[in-house]
């Protein structure tokens, strides 16, 4: 019985470690390292602002907005960018499973975000960026990093 309790506890720890809430400075460093900062002219502050308003920097965030869902730190949509196996008529332009956007490895999320901004809408594809970040002083998102 003790063995099963220990295994259950370890499984909970393992599953709990899959998702992560990053700090803005951690994201700043990762965005610099991966080339997301400055990608297509969008500063790290723009990306950090976007992630804050989309997910609160939480890699496990999922938002159900009707026929499609948004996944991960950037809230990548299953209608256009990732495959969740449920969204009818999905495009899957990033060629990625939506589930893979829900763990603490955000490198695949970043590659998909780069794909999104290559489209004509650029970073404006994200409503949260348009509503909260566009045209704002974003220096607070990188201050002290």
Residues labelled catalytic: 54, 70
**Residues paired with 69 in a beta bridge:** 64
**Residues paired with 62 in a beta bridge:** 71
**Alpha carbon separation from 74 to 13, 116, 125 (Å, rounded):** 25, 11, 11
The Cα 42–Cα 38 span in angstroms is 5
Look at the alpha carbons of 70, 32, 115, 139 in this order and tell me if their dihedral is positive or negative.
positive
Asked if residue 72 lies in contact with residue 101, where contact means CB atoms within 8 angstroms, the answer is yes
The Cα 97–Cα 81 span in angstroms is 9
Total Cβ atoms within 10 A of residue 91: 13
């Amino acid at each position: 019985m003790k063995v099963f309790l220990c295994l259950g506890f370890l499984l909970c720890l393992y599953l709990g470690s899959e998702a992560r809430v990053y700090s803005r400075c951690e994201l700043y460093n990762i965005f610099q390292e991966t080339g997301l900062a400055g990608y297509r002219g969008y500063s790290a502050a723009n990306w950090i602002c976007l992630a804050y308003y989309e997910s609160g920097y939480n890699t496990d965030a999922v938002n159900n907005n009707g026929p499609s869902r948004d996944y991960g730190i950037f809230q990548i949509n299953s209608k256009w960018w990732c495959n969740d196996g449920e969204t009818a008529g999905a495009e899957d332009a990033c060629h990625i499973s939506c589930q893979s956007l829900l763990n603490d490895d955000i490198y695949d999320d970043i590659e998909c975000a780069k794909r999104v901004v290559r489209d004509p809408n650029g970073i404006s594809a994200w409503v949260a960026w348009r509503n909260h970040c566009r045209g704002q002083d974003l220096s607070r998102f990188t201050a002290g990093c």
